[in-house]
Amino acid sequence: MKIAVCVKSVPDTEAKISILADQLTFDHAGIKFITSPFDEYAIEAALQLKERYGGEITAFSLGGEEVVEVLRNTLARGVDNGVHIKDPEFAGADPLTAAKILAAAIDGGDFQLILCGQQGVGGDNSQVPAMLAELLDLPQATLVVALEIEADKFKAHCEIEGAHQIVQGTLPAVISTGKGLNEPRYPSIKGVMAARRKEIVIKDAAALGLSGQLTASQRKVKLIALNAPPARPSGKMIAGDPATQAHQLARLLREEAKVI
């Protein structure tokens, strides 16, 4: 079974994001980049399927130098191949552009399954998996928290508000993974050593046949500004013994905030 996994390198969730003077980018200095947490479930799902059915896993990642460490880490967990898609033309890609780039890289690779995290943490768009499925003309399942693969069929539990939808479909398919699907493993020492010897293939716009097609000026969504959110007004601390505090709070919620 050939499996493709899309991984995204994102700023550590604890990182402080300092918007630069252009108001469009943030300062990368001192920021640690990590695998987007939802992609960890995609990687783990691929590894478990490989252990069960054999096959080959290829990880695809779009971005600049911050991607290399994430791809190495992915390889160290047991993924076979890494493809780093990088080109200055692709910088600042919106989700549809990113999906087009990934589709160009994945198409023709004869993959039975394409796994992506449900959203890239940071951008928080949750768009690429469904767009990728459309561009590759494949069925999909979104926010999957349980997955069974049997021959050329899949059965996925998709999390929706207050329920699970059970989706059945045929492979090849695109699956977006959510928290709860599995417990991602850490790379082993052996894996880390092996990953050092694996080659990361670099593909640019020309290699993907996309030269000049997906540049910033051709995109449908334009980022106009990154703004800091308005500061919340400073709050009120409620003092007193527990009974007074509880009573005061209930009264404030009702009379001042009018929310209960």
Partner 1 sequence: MTENILVWVEQRNGQIRKAAGEVLFEARRLCTGSGGKLVAFLAGGNVAQLAATLARYRTDKILVADDPSLESYSTERYTEALVCAVKKENPRYVMAAHTAMSQDLIPRAAARTDSACVTDITELREENDVLRAVHPMYSGKVLGVFELTSPLSFLTLRPNVFPPDLPDEIHESEMEQLAFNPAPVRAQVVATVASTGVKVELSEAPIIVSGGRGIKGPEHWPMLQELCDVLGAALGASRAVVDAGWIDHQHQVGQSGKTVSPKLYIAVGISGAVQHLAGMSSSKVIVAINNNPDALIFQSATYGIVGDCLEIVPKLTSACRTLLSES
**Which residues, 109 to 148, sit near partner 1 by CB under 8 A?**
118, 121-131, 133-135, 138-143
Establish if 98 lies at the interface with partner 1 (CB under 8 A). Answer: no
CB of 110 to partner 1, least distance (A): 17
Closest distance to partner 1 from the beta carbon of 35 (Å): 13
Contact 176/117 with Cβ under 8 angstroms?
yes
Residue 170 makes contact with partner 1 by CB under 8 A: yes
Query: C-alpha angle with apex 178: 176 to 183, nearest 5 degrees?
Result: 120
Nearest to partner 1 of 26, 191 (CB atom) = 26
Pick out residues in 12-41 that bind partner 1 (CB under 8 A).
13-14, 16-17, 19, 26, 37-38
CB 53 within 8 A of CB 149: yes
Contact with partner 1 (CB under 8 A) among 21, 29, 160, 189 = 160
Q: Per CB under 8 A, which of residues 59..88 are in contact with partner 1?
A: none
Smallest distance, Å, CB 178 to partner 1?
9
Q: Which of residues 183-242 bind partner 1 (CB under 8 A)?
A: 219-229, 232-233, 235-238, 242
- For 14, 104, 105, 160, 221, the CA distances from 64, given in Å and listed in that order, are 21, 18, 16, 34, 21
Other residues' Cβ atoms within 10 Å of the Cβ of residue 40? 23
Least CB distance to partner 1 at residue 27 (A)? 12
Cα distance between residue 70 and residue 56, in whole Å: 19
> Residue 63 — left, alpha, or beta (φ > 0 → left; ψ -120 to 50 → alpha)?
left
Compute the distance between CA of residue 79 and CA of residue 128 in angstroms, rounded to an integer.
21
Q: How far apart are CA 55 and CA 111, in angstroms?
A: 10
Q: Cα 238 to chain center, whole Å?
A: 41
With contacts defined by CB under 8 A, name the span among 66-74, 85-93, 151-159, 194-202 that binds partner 1.
151-159
Shortest Å distance, C-beta 182 to partner 1: 12
- Out of 162, 189, 209, 212, point to the residue binding partner 1 (CB under 8 A): 162
The reply to whether 104 sits near partner 1 by the rule CB under 8 A is no
Site residue total, partner 1 (CB under 8 A): 83
Contacts of 178 (CB under 8 A, 6+ apart): 38, 41, 118, 143, 144, 145, 159
Give whichever of 81 and 97 is closer to partner 1, judged by the CB atom.
Answer: 97
Q: Compare residues 185 and 219 and give the one whose CB is closer to partner 1.
A: 219
164 and 158 in contact (C-beta within 8 Å)? yes
DSSP state of 255: I
Minimal distance, residue 239 CB to partner 1, in Å? 8
- Cβ at position 67, least distance to partner 1 in Å: 18
Cβ proximity to partner 1: between 199 and 256 the closer is 256
In one-letter notation, the amino acid at residue 60 is F
